Structure 1
């Protein structure tokens, strides 16, 4: 797991939420479920690592989301 001391602002959270919703909708994953939480954690980790574009974030999730 990647850890960072960076903080996320409202714009960051909005972008991450939209990516999460898109991925969950596309893959039929319940937004409040365990799998969605796992995806959300990975999204935040990649975002803090420097992957900021929604399409790139979705690409990084492909190995996790069949």
Structure 2
């Protein structure tokens, strides 16, 4: 894992993409998301959106995705009703 960079250009470099893919793969495995499923596509979109907003620290990305996915889980949807 490389040290986090400060986001300045909006460009994802190979090291950035590697990190984002590792995060995506780990979360898909943990949550049982299958490649190409709506949940996996949503996760990919959310991951890239966080990066695009300037979040480049692995721990912060993972934490933000956990919060995001927690809000989207069926159990949390039931509690919101």
Which TM class, normalised by the smaller chain length?
A: 0.7 to 0.9
In the alignment, is residue 36 of structure 1 matched against residue 40 of structure 2?
yes
Tell me the CA shift for residue 32 of structure 1: 2.3
- The answer to whether the 8 A contact 1:39-1:64 is kept is no
Tell me the CA shift for residue 27 of structure 1: 0.9
Higher relative contact order (CA 8 A, sep 6+): 1
Unpaired stretches in structure 1, ≥5 consecutive residues: none
- Residues 17-59 of structure 1: per-residue CA shift (max 9 Å, x gap): 0000011111111132111111111111111212112221111
Give the Cα–Cα distance (whole angstroms) in 1 for the partners of residues 10 and 54 of structure 2: 11
1:1-66 equivalence runs, <5 A:
6-66=10-70
Give the Cα–Cα distance (whole angstroms) in 2 for the partners of residues 10 and 31 of structure 1: 21
Q: TM-score, normalised by structure 2?
A: 0.66
